[in-house]
Chain A
């Protein structure tokens, strides 16, 4: 059983003497009348870490989240949140914050009323609940619209309000299901920066379900990729990428952009280099596709040494490199490779 963890985190505070995990799941399985929606999910989340949950539609992401948030009871397996076992769901609930995919916001009340309502449900008294609500709205950038009816909020504002609600109980673990869905690129970046900040400053662990792989890649420490209810990859982003490369073909394509006047020279130069299986003029005039072959069975085609040699050769030949990209080096490629055959 693979287990996701905080391996490879860039944050130096995580590297030494890591704090105890705040979420541990062991072999979670969920079956509905003979059909298994989730097979043996295991993971570990440490404070301040963000874990991405990826997978095609129907892969089991929402089922996993609902189990970990005590909405569903697993058929088998256990988990604990902040040291509280899954057999005590009532004690887990005050420790988690959730932003479900369906935001579930009422239209007829204001943002501050809504947040204050949840603050009271979590045990805060009148003025305390009100000031706590105001602080959270401030945090997500909604303070000035706090007294407006929620029905007047845009989608982005609703997402932010949902996040404020997820934080209302100062949770140990925060579950976010597609938090950037429907936001414009700037809104997505701001929201992800906020989440990253919340994780670091508050020491909360975040589980982030998303289809936007680039955002997961940018913000997550660890990744779990699910496909048809099975965990197909877990670990840090780098580990998952490495696994996908091992599973994939033994060649890697490098896409280069050079000035039009240098294309012929670059083609001839690269075609003569060892380890290059072929050079073509790509689908666009100024792009060259260079197919690299691993030097030996242990090395990957996109071994940095291979790509560096290509770039060095071009620079030495005084050919300007306008841009370059190595296919298979991004999470999206790994996702496609690992969930091949499943519908996204």
Chain B
């Protein structure tokens, strides 16, 4: 019998089952069970809650040292929440198809009447579920770090909005890579490389992030743009619409990823990712180029950051500075106050003088400490010092890091036009800063401990309930049980 004859005999009597429109929902529910009850998402979230607790504790410690105001702590906590939350989604997405290929479970899925797009949609929705869970876990941390500041509400709103956009973009990206990869190893590697690149760009020196290229990179990198946006809005009191251009890359990322996923990758979903090898090579070369570019930019930009302006020519003056303290021993977080006496031993009034505070860490390399981190007032200006007179000034330091330091001041007389002057240095104040010993900064310790513990317990209860519902698996005596006749 030919095929044409066979087609003519088609009866249609047996087939009552047709592809369902809601297959994506069936796939989504099944993926949820495997993701959450199977343990993958649970393990990642427990790890996340521990990391978040640690970061919150460190932030609160810094805040206690008057380094970070609550708004900035909330910003950093939210940024960490979004970064880790969407990272988990990307990892889950990266396992979505290539994991099925590797475990040999994709073939039977492809044989069902569910369309490829429905399969991918169900998996994408499941990959998005870790994000709201991660966000919920971070709410207590956001609340305690806000310390009653109204920024908490703003952070929650922005977190839901921006985090969701990024979660879709990154989970979709993970799934896209997974669709084109034959193994989990490949998809995970590509996703991690991309993640690392985006993250490293945010860590470039400040000078590199300026200029046309720097600003361009800042805007097209969703992670960097999100960081900029949140910082401006939460910390620097800018409005949403003043900085909305920083969100465009995230929105564009979502559109591009969803288009690639549903218009190109999903309809061509195959048992074997035949293009994976070529794609791997392409991704490999792209990653290599991006890494090379990054290193090149860092190398080129680095010296520029280190170079300062030309040295001034020294010139003599009759000024002298003395301190009322020569040695102090304090704890990290303590406030240190001392006075200086600026004397003019000459017979004429001095020109205007700038007094600048310097702090050097007494290590073998003599690390320079940025006074901006240590003191709200790093310089003081003096119009003039009368001849034979002296002026007293008070200085305050926040001892933020433990160690041995030398604090000294320099008086810089204003030079006359087209000439230089002779800066004068004071004796040093030897400052020994001991370790910070408070265990519960800002009262965050209970939250830091309770949240990971609560998450772990809740998930253990979930698993326990499921196991109880299933009943204990019986011994394998059924193993050889005879088959029953139909």
Beta-carbon contact of B15 and A95 below 8 Å:
yes
Beta-carbon contact of B470 and A148 below 8 Å:
yes
User: Which residues A107-160 have CB closer than 8 A to chain B?
Assistant: 107-110, 113, 117-118, 120-124, 138-141, 144-145, 147-149, 152, 154, 156-157, 160
Expressed in whole angstroms, the Cα–Cα distance for A147 and B478 within the complex equals 13
Chain B 108-128 near chain A by CB (<8 Å), digits 1 or 0: 111111110000000000000
- With a cutoff of 8 Å between Cβ atoms, the chain A residues found around residue B476 in the complex are 152, 154
- With a cutoff of 8 Å between Cβ atoms, the chain B residues found around residue A144 in the complex are 474, 478, 481
A90 within 8 A of partner (CB): yes
Chain B 80-111 near chain A by CB (<8 Å), digits 1 or 0: 00000000000000000000100111111111
Beta-carbon contact of B33 and A160 below 8 Å:
no
- With a cutoff of 8 Å between Cβ atoms, the chain B residues found around residue A160 in the complex are 483
| Contact of A194 with B483 at beta-carbon distance under 8 Å, contacts A122-B17, A122-B113 already known | yes
Beta-carbon contact of B107 and A121 below 8 Å:
no
A277 within 8 A of partner (CB): no
- Distance to closest chain B CB from A181 (angstroms): 14
Question: Which residue from B104, B470, B486 sits with its C-beta under 8 Å from A147?
Answer: B470
Question: Which residue from B110, B271, B480 sits with its C-beta under 8 Å from A156?
Answer: B480
Query: Interface residue count for B (Cβ, 8 Å)?
Result: 56
- Distance to closest chain B CB from A321 (angstroms): 35
Expressed in whole angstroms, the Cα–Cα distance for A186 and B114 within the complex equals 37
Expressed in whole angstroms, the Cα–Cα distance for A72 and B34 within the complex equals 28
| Contact of A104 with B15 at beta-carbon distance under 8 Å, contacts A121-B114, A190-B483 already known | no
Question: Which residue from A80, A107, A108 sits with its C-beta under 8 Å from B6?
Answer: A80
Expressed in whole angstroms, the Cα–Cα distance for A95 and B17 within the complex equals 9
- With a cutoff of 8 Å between Cβ atoms, the chain B residues found around residue A123 in the complex are 17-20, 113
| Contact of A145 with B38 at beta-carbon distance under 8 Å, contacts A100-B104, A190-B483 already known | no
- With a cutoff of 8 Å between Cβ atoms, the chain A residues found around residue B481 in the complex are 141, 144
- Distance to closest chain A CB from B449 (angstroms): 30
Beta-carbon contact of B474 and A148 below 8 Å:
yes
A165 within 8 A of partner (CB): yes
Question: Which residue from A70, A83, A139 sits with its C-beta under 8 Å from B486?
Answer: A139
Beta-carbon contact of A197 and B486 below 8 Å:
yes
A44 within 8 A of partner (CB): yes
Beta-carbon contact of A187 and B480 below 8 Å:
yes
Expressed in whole angstroms, the Cα–Cα distance for A102 and B484 within the complex equals 24
Beta-carbon contact of B484 and A141 below 8 Å:
yes
Expressed in whole angstroms, the Cα–Cα distance for A40 and B88 within the complex equals 48
- With a cutoff of 8 Å between Cβ atoms, the chain B residues found around residue A191 in the complex are 483
Task: Pick out which of these stretches binds chain A: B23-31, B203-211, B358-366.
Answer: B23-31
| Contact of A124 with B7 at beta-carbon distance under 8 Å, contacts A26-B2, A98-B108 already known | no
Expressed in whole angstroms, the Cα–Cα distance for A154 and B474 within the complex equals 12
Beta-carbon contact of B7 and A84 below 8 Å:
yes
User: Which residues A37-95 have CB closer than 8 A to chain B?
Assistant: 44, 66, 69-72, 78-80, 82-85, 90, 93-95
Beta-carbon contact of A94 and B15 below 8 Å:
yes
| Contact of A83 with B11 at beta-carbon distance under 8 Å, contacts A121-B112, A148-B470, A198-B486 already known | yes
| Contact of A93 with B112 at beta-carbon distance under 8 Å, contacts A83-B6, A108-B38, A170-B14 already known | yes
Most chain A C-beta atoms within 10 Å of own C-beta, residue among B1, B16, B108, B479: B108
- Distance to closest chain B CB from A153 (angstroms): 8
| Contact of A20 with B6 at beta-carbon distance under 8 Å, contacts A104-B106, A139-B484, A141-B481 already known | yes
Expressed in whole angstroms, the Cα–Cα distance for A100 and B9 within the complex equals 29
Expressed in whole angstroms, the Cα–Cα distance for A113 and B14 within the complex equals 25
B10 within 8 A of partner (CB): yes
Question: Which residue from B20, B34, B115, B473 sits with its C-beta under 8 Å from A108?
Answer: B34
Question: Which residue from B7, B17, B30, B39 sits with its C-beta under 8 Å from A169?
Answer: B17
B281 within 8 A of partner (CB): no
Helix, strand, loop or mixed for chain A's interface?
A: mixed
Question: Which residue from A104, A121, A157, A170 sits with its C-beta under 8 Å from B478?
Answer: A157
Expressed in whole angstroms, the Cα–Cα distance for A117 and B122 within the complex equals 13
- Distance to closest chain B CB from A62 (angstroms): 11
B347 within 8 A of partner (CB): no
Expressed in whole angstroms, the Cα–Cα distance for A21 and B4 within the complex equals 12
Beta-carbon contact of B111 and A98 below 8 Å:
yes
A184 within 8 A of partner (CB): yes
Expressed in whole angstroms, the Cα–Cα distance for A138 and B6 within the complex equals 34
Expressed in whole angstroms, the Cα–Cα distance for A122 and B8 within the complex equals 25
Expressed in whole angstroms, the Cα–Cα distance for A24 and B4 within the complex equals 10
The chain A residue sitting closest to B484, CB to CB, is A141
A263 within 8 A of partner (CB): no
Beta-carbon contact of B26 and A24 below 8 Å:
no
The chain A residue sitting closest to B486, CB to CB, is A139
Beta-carbon contact of B112 and A71 below 8 Å:
no
Beta-carbon contact of A80 and B484 below 8 Å:
no
Chain A 180-199 near chain B by CB (<8 Å), digits 1 or 0: 00001011001101100110
- Distance to closest chain B CB from A274 (angstroms): 47
Chain B 291-332 near chain A by CB (<8 Å), digits 1 or 0: 000000000000000000000000000000000000000000
| Contact of A108 with B39 at beta-carbon distance under 8 Å, contacts A80-B3, A94-B18, A95-B15 already known | yes
Beta-carbon contact of A108 and B107 below 8 Å:
no
A218 within 8 A of partner (CB): no
A30 within 8 A of partner (CB): no
| Contact of A121 with B113 at beta-carbon distance under 8 Å, contacts A82-B10, A165-B108 already known | yes
Chain B 464-479 near chain A by CB (<8 Å), digits 1 or 0: 0000001101101011
Expressed in whole angstroms, the Cα–Cα distance for A125 and B131 within the complex equals 30
A106 within 8 A of partner (CB): yes
Beta-carbon contact of A69 and B104 below 8 Å:
no
Could you write out 22 A-B pairs with CB less than 8 Å apart? A44-B1, A66-B271, A71-B111, A78-B3, A80-B7, A83-B9, A95-B14, A100-B107, A102-B107, A104-B100, A106-B103, A113-B33, A120-B20, A121-B20, A121-B23, A124-B17, A141-B481, A141-B484, A145-B474, A160-B483, A191-B483, A194-B485
**In the A-B complex, the 10 residue pairs with the closest CB atoms:** A83-B10, A102-B104, A108-B38, A20-B9, A104-B105, A104-B104, A148-B473, A152-B473, A190-B483, A141-B483
4 more CB-based (< 8 A) A-B contacts, given A70-B111, A121-B23, A170-B16:
A20-B6, A71-B111, A122-B112, A148-B470
